[in-house]
Structure 1
């Protein structure tokens, strides 16, 4: 039994539960992770000292270590955007990584550290309070400044930049930028640790990235240092965030099993490889390459030579949000052919080849038309994985991870359960139920998308009921031998963006 020590990015299901889903599909690996009570709660930072105690107490009991720097330095993802740590705090916490290496001299240590995001909208749900008033302007100001330096601005853009500089209080700009500089220094310090051999592999995902702006500027600083120190084989920078734990656990599994799984991937549309997804800064195909490298896999030139198939459902020409798919652009039909895509999947499934579907046609939810196709072709319960949540790279990273953990089918019942989990969450909740409840129920509860007004139980019950109604309404030919005996919904941050599911299945 291979044991992996894991410190998650935060306490949400995507970071705390999804990695457990992975290991549950195998019989030869165990995840050692901290109890929920010492992790944080949204903007409330985790107990960093206790987490390091947990790491040191378990380091000698495992064959591999996977760490989130956000959690072990700042106390979690959101605290990394809100902290007021001093330089002494930073040095003290960074020294812990060297202490861990001294304790675990030969144990591989993998870590992830995000380039801090810059949302394009006004909300303080995950950002400092002033982001409620100035978030969009902060994003645009940095976007235009970076664009001005790199390619230049037209007259309208130059005027917008001047207005943003006049509109945003200097105190807000200084607070935001000082924290970003601090966080970049942490990342540069991590590169020193990689160079010294303290950390064996470092992933640097970019959360909510854009072609220009703060994230791009920070990436340029970080990547220049990577090149300067010739660390390209030990450090990868790419879009993502909440899939990072699954990706590094997957890389660790491959390391411990001394293998490099081979993956054949294909898309549902012709120009998909060149499409830049929403919330990301590069074409889809570049992200596929990065995630395959980060997870310790290689590309198969032919499907017959692959350990599993990665089928990527993509937009036809450009990506839209999942909630808008009932009025989606015509290019979702004219620039892609779902029937051909699904028949290819069916062919491989019937031949016994494991297939993983990364449903990246829309942002923030699964493709309902694809789900109907898969149900009609009776493919769903024969998939190795189906995921279509949040961003393209969130979906992509967890899909590759599920394929790597499951392609030898050690625990088929858990694999099927997790396919069903993501059908319920990604396709029905994220694409349908979430907006309907936000629009119709929350106003009556004096609640909103970001604050359920202590009505979590009422909202959770309604979500649960509507998910089941949607499931029974769409899924007609699949999972006939699987009965959902219990479905419990919970809202980990008392908001609508994400849910967790407790799902019990009876196999008839």
Structure 2
């Protein structure tokens, strides 16, 4: 079998494109994707016709195909929130999936399409033009209206009514029409699964909560999935940016014919983990873990059962902090040095999911692992974005590099995550934002400042920690400080 996959990512950010390619390559496979320049930007959609032609052409030599429906249909996940195309112009773009299946009926086609998020903010970034003025009212109307319908709570009805009073009818109608259009596309995807065109579909929930228009759509989709008998083929759970990672891992495992990777878990704060809900997610963290394990095709085993590796799950207290929003841990727990020492003594390979904070690592954990000289021995690490992003990305790395965890490619991938998630996201991004007003700074000046601050510090830290690689590329792919594009060379 030719060990080549073809993928259409959700956008051109490094974490969803070349970093996934690096994980797949560490497992001995190739994941071909379009060039970054072809994948659009937050403010404008990609050229969808060109991407569809690229996918149809490249798929001919591939063992499997993974498609971001948001990219194929809307030109990216961000454009899906504001693009003005009508449904009758969008649905025909799904016909490509049928053509791909007809040309190679036995070739697996995997797909993913995120639920349309509803942001609780007035930020204009990647939203409708009216979001700065009406976004928070739309969120309140959505959340409290659904909460009232689900619980009957009269206070929710009051809050929803107040929000609706401040929303022009035209704004509400436009927003509901956009949601209805995107929901109809997701229902059409269920049809393609039922007809055997799509072999596995993930509908990840981007920045979701218990209530809201997005939650109502999620409940309706679940009912459809169950009624059609598609529960083993269609997955719905919190996440989004990690979907290409997990589908690639599941697909490679399927093509290899590998048995499920057996994972046992050790928790740094077991007392709080059972009730911890990660930020931006609608369920307990342990449920999110189970969903991501299922997504990659692995399985969880108990401490007394035979396992392939140990997943160290780090949290601290009953709620997460958030580095990007500068929210500290609400109730941090004393860290047990004994837990880190036990990880260092484990006979199993150790990987770390660092989930105390959203959008970055916990420096307390990193220092403890460094003290045990465990960082260069880790077979995987993640602490980026949401908890599900970290879990899915890490589990994908472990499945893809299975039996090759000690090889240079996987060690380099782990070092990159440590440099990004700890040194940049949890430490130097804050310094950069304190030193500069990025809203007023030209993009090239911001990128130069990030390189000057990060590269010498990262090279020195990687060397001091005994980690492989030095920074060979460092820039800001979307001209903002939130994410950084890094490449490490041995």
TM-score, length basis structure 1:
0.91
Other-structure match for 1:342: 340
- Is 1:5–2:41 an aligned residue pair? no
Other-structure match for 2:169: 170
After superposition, give the CA deviation of every residue in 1:413-462 in whole Å (9 maximum; x if it has no partner): 222222221222111221222233223212xxxx42xxx64x22322232
Sort the Cα spacing of 1:379 and 1:217 in 2 relative to 1 into closer, same or farther, 3 A: same
Hey, what's the Cα distance between the residues in 2 that align with 1:382 and 1:171?
57
Structure 1: where are the runs of 5+ without partners?
none
Counterpart selection for 1:460 from 433, 444, 447:
447
Sort the Cα spacing of 1:338 and 1:465 in 2 relative to 1 into closer, same or farther, 3 A: farther
Sort the Cα spacing of 1:294 and 1:382 in 2 relative to 1 into closer, same or farther, 3 A: same
Hey, what's the Cα distance between the residues in 1 that align with 2:460 and 2:275?
35
**Cα contact 1:322–1:367 (8 A) shared by 2:** no
**Cα contact 2:4–2:32 (8 A) shared by 1:** yes
- Is 1:409–2:404 an aligned residue pair? yes
Other-structure match for 1:141: 141
Hey, what's the Cα distance between the residues in 1 that align with 2:435 and 2:463?
27
Sort the Cα spacing of 1:221 and 1:150 in 2 relative to 1 into closer, same or farther, 3 A: same
Q: Write out aligned runs for 1:442-461 (5 A).
A: 442=437, 447-448=438-439, 453=441, 455-461=442-448
Hey, what's the Cα distance between the residues in 2 that align with 1:119 and 1:279?
10
- Is 1:393–2:393 an aligned residue pair? no
Q: Write out aligned runs for 1:104-253 (5 A).
A: 104-155=104-155, 157-253=156-252
Q: How far apart are 1:407 and its partner, in Å?
A: 3.1
- Is 1:69–2:69 an aligned residue pair? yes
**Cα contact 2:275–2:318 (8 A) shared by 1:** no
- Is 1:504–2:489 an aligned residue pair? yes
Hey, what's the Cα distance between the residues in 1 that align with 2:455 and 2:306?
39
Q: How far apart are 1:493 and its partner, in Å?
A: 1.2
SS at 1:460's partner residue?
Answer: helix
Hey, what's the Cα distance between the residues in 2 that align with 1:105 and 1:420?
39
Sort the Cα spacing of 1:495 and 1:288 in 2 relative to 1 into closer, same or farther, 3 A: same
Other-structure match for 1:34: 34
Structure 2: where are the runs of 5+ without partners?
none
Hey, what's the Cα distance between the residues in 1 that align with 2:327 and 2:212?
32
Hey, what's the Cα distance between the residues in 2 that align with 1:265 and 1:48?
42
Other-structure match for 2:87: 87
Other-structure match for 2:263: 263
Hey, what's the Cα distance between the residues in 1 that align with 2:143 and 2:485?
34
**Cα contact 1:24–1:411 (8 A) shared by 2:** no
TM-score, length basis structure 2:
0.94
Hey, what's the Cα distance between the residues in 2 that align with 1:470 and 1:303?
42
Q: Cα RMSD over matched residues?
A: 2.1
Q: How far apart are 1:38 and its partner, in Å?
A: 2.1
**Cα contact 1:117–1:215 (8 A) shared by 2:** yes
**Cα contact 1:424–1:467 (8 A) shared by 2:** no
Hey, what's the Cα distance between the residues in 1 that align with 2:130 and 2:207?
19
Sort the Cα spacing of 1:170 and 1:435 in 2 relative to 1 into closer, same or farther, 3 A: farther
After superposition, give the CA deviation of every residue in 1:24-64 in whole Å (9 maximum; x if it has no partner): 3133x111212223211222111111111112112221111
Task: Write out the 4+ residue segments of structure 1 that deviate beyond 6 Å after TM superposition.
Answer: 472-476
Sort the Cα spacing of 1:94 and 1:472 in 2 relative to 1 into closer, same or farther, 3 A: closer
Sort the Cα spacing of 1:193 and 1:483 in 2 relative to 1 into closer, same or farther, 3 A: closer
